[in-house]
Structure 1
């Protein structure tokens, strides 16, 4: 118990002070108001424990007040202050600070007054033992499985009243790694919390982390370790293309897929990893995106309308495919008939029927381009679309001079017709 009394000079100072009708307090040295004093009263003293567990009734005794005297006690703590009064019996007044006031850890300052006398005391309220569940907070929740990335786990174990347990209390962290191994580490409470660093491994997958304090613990929290950027990968058509059978018909979709995307430790890229596929050919560049499933991304490339090679590359998280995939596309149609008639200020051209190499008519809407030239140069052009394999196209022209040539293009194949 801590007792706070007046200083040792009181015995020397008391006779002159009594002669002047004055009194002084004990520990604080505060001066009381003038007036007569009872001869049996001595200086006040606050008897309180130096420390106590938070959330328990705290008993405080104030001695030095005369029998029957009223004593006032002011207690100031983390939750504010309370004022209690009691009547001294056998020179002592006793006070009981309720749990509602003592449930929060921290310092409690005690100030007792009686008939002009003042005394002080202090009690430190300490947190009790930890109660479960002890919650682990992990962040970041996803790290790269490259042996260098890291996360952190933080915990604030509390007692039944929500007070962080005492400084220096041991805290143990447990970790289940994606490869099935387990690890533990121990630290102590510092500044109301405990923490530990979580270094990544090289095996991708889901791990768990949990905390134990004394005999209580808490639920496991997940920590994902994911693959890093992939190593260079390859592209290939889903169905091998036979030479001369990839047609530049402007409509066929050619599915292309990547090899399995893995990082340098062999971890497969997680589902949903974005892959960008770019290609270029006679009709210019184009691109599209796809996402991986089981480490593989697949995308469909539309066949060009012009024969030639398509150069296809892929990119994922800044990594390019090892080499470009080259897809050759040949003309989708062979020779087709064309008839043309000269009219005033126009040329009437009939195209078709146009068939593919398999003998079937090309799809409706396939574009047709018609141009007219004479001995002086270009005279006019017009485009149309095939219906049932044929098209009638009227090409407006200036006055034609000499020999006239009509050129018709369908899916990269050309037929010329000479007039006059």
Structure 2
């Protein structure tokens, strides 16, 4: 049944198609054209037209294509010839152009032409440099890129000569580069000395702006340190100054101003102190107070991740060799001192003094602290905290410890 219906549909379609109107075939155009414009090379920015002669009157169109895009130009007439005026945005762009003459939907002619760079109105030169800071030494460099164009922003032809100029201190150099695919480029390597480097470019009597690149010193190399102090006594009052020699890089450049230097001090008990300073004219300094008791220091300096010094030894001798402890008010007032220094003078105010109080079982009940005033220090053992009984007192100052057993009443 389905096959029977299909046959009927086919028959009906053939019947109707046979009765339909015959399709009209359009006759091909017999108009002949001839290109009258003999030039095939033009200059960017200069208007031009394409002219054709026609065997009979017609209204063809010209399909014109270049790097800007594709456009269809309408016919205009000049002295009986068919003329097509190329639009401004198309004739300002250099490069190869393609055209096709179309009449009555039929391509009659086609061809190509060239628009060349316009050097009559001067050269425009763009240049780019980066990075704008380098470290001394041939391993680091900046990229210098130059773009030369005509007045209409068309890239100059490949192999155009562009000069790169570099000035550093008393030296000046030039390098002739050749453009390719719009640009010319070069690597500007850092010299071994630190300072300010100037870079520029030139092309066809046009100069670029001046670029500045700062050449910083490379990473510092190992250095030495020393110290300066008024005396060798451990009085906890005077200042010792640690300083570096001039820190330089491997090329002899003085380290950058403000380079951070750490001084690490290890004493004979294994305790560590840290001081720091920043470089000025290549040197760094740091200061510490003298210890309060006899000590031996090992001092080393570092520029993090770059350089270090050899360790040096610093010895301090005791400024206080002995002192007296006096008990008053039924042993509840403990007087320490007078504390006298290396010239038999009273120690400066502020010398730390500690008193540890233990009961008869050896348990520490409290640790009292004070500092010297006029060479002496005092502790009051209140009955509210320390009732009547036997105690062991341990007094420590200037690195000297004294132990006394007392009865508090």
> Which TM bucket (shorter chain)?
0.7 to 0.9
For 1:133 and 1:231, the matched residues in 2 are separated by 46
Residue 26 of structure 2 aligns with which residue? 34
Q: Which residue of 2 aligns with 1:229?
A: 219
Q: How does 1:228-377 map to 2 (within 5 A)?
A: 228-237=218-227, 239-244=228-233, 247-249=234-236, 252-281=238-267, 282=269, 284-316=271-303, 318-331=305-318, 333-340=320-327, 349-352=334-337, 354=339, 357=342, 359-360=345-346, 362-364=348-350, 366-373=351-358, 377=362
Instruction: Kindly state the Cα deviation for residue 194 of structure 1 after the two structures are TM-superposed.
Output: 0.4
Could you say which residue in structure 2 is the equivalent of 1:100?
89
Give the alignment's TM-score, normalised by structure 2.
Answer: 0.78
Distance 1:65 1:387 in 2: 123
> What CA distance in whole angstroms lies between the structure 2 residues aligned with 1:221 and 1:340?
80
Show the counterpart of 1:140.
Answer: 131
- Aligned to 1:85, which of 68, 74, 81? 74
Which residue matches 1:152?
A: 143
The separation in 2 between residues aligned to 1:307 and 1:66, in whole angstroms, is 120
Cα 1:106–1:419 shift into 2, 3 Å = same
Q: Are 2:368 and 1:383 equivalent residues in the alignment?
A: yes
Match of 1:21 in 2: none
**Cα pair distance change 1:50/1:312, threshold 3 Å:** farther
* Aligned twin of 1:123: 113
Other-structure match for 1:109: 98
Offset, 1:188: 0.8
What is the number of equivalent residue pairs in this alignment?
A: 375
Match of 2:200 in 1: 210
Aligned counterparts, 1:158-169, within 5 A: 158-169=149-160
Structure 1 residues 233 and 37, CA, compared in 2 at 3 Å: closer, same or farther? Answer: closer
Residues 187-246 of structure 1, C-alpha deviations (whole Å, 9 max, x = no match)? 211121001122333222211111111211112212333322223211122x444333xx
Distance in 1, Cα, partners of 2:156 & 2:216: 35
2:174 aligns with: 184
Shift in CA distance, 173/330, structure 1 to aligned 2, threshold 3 Å: same
- What is the rounded CA distance, in whole Å, between the counterparts of 1:107 and 1:340 in structure 2? 111
Distance in 2 separating the partners of 1:65 and 1:254: 108
Matched residue, 1:56: 46
- Secondary structure of the 1:100 match is helix
Aligned equivalents of 2:104, 2:303: Cα separation in 1: 84
- Tell whether the 8 Å contact from 2:123 to 2:204 is kept in structure 1 after alignment: no
What is the aligned partner in structure 1 of residue 396 from structure 2? 409
Summarize the Cα distance change of 1:293–1:158 in structure 2 as closer, same or farther, 3 Å threshold: farther
> Residues 97, 340 of structure 1: CA spacing in aligned structure 2 closer, same or farther, 3 A cutoff?
farther
Work out the CA distance in 2 between the residues paired with 1:46 and 1:111.
15
Confirm or deny: 8 A CA contact 1:340 1:417 kept in the other structure.
no
Q: CA separation in 2, counterparts of 1:248 and 1:124?
A: 92
Structure 2 distance, partners of 1:324, 1:157, is 58
Contact map agreement 1:370 1:382 (CA 8 A) in 2: yes
Residues 148 and 339 of structure 1, relative CA distance in 2, 3 Å threshold: same
Superposed CA RMSD in Å reads: 3.4
CA–CA distance in structure 2, aligned partners of residues 252 and 53 of structure 1: 85
TM-score normalized with structure 1 length: 0.76
Cα deviation per residue 1:63-116 (whole Å; 9 max; x = unaligned)? 43634x323233333334443322345663223324333333344332332333
Residues 345-388 of structure 1 show CA distances to partners (whole Å, capped at 9, x for unaligned) of x9653434546557355434x53321245775454341322263
Q: 1:326 to 1:125 in 2, by over 3 A?
A: farther
Is the Cα contact below 8 Å between 2:223 and 2:247 reproduced in 1? yes
Counterpart contact for 1:154–1:194, Cα < 8 Å: yes
Change over 3 Å in CA distance of 1:301–1:73 after alignment to 2? farther
Whole-angstrom CA distance in 2 between matches of 1:363 and 1:314: 32
Matches within 5 A, 1:191-206: 191-206=181-196
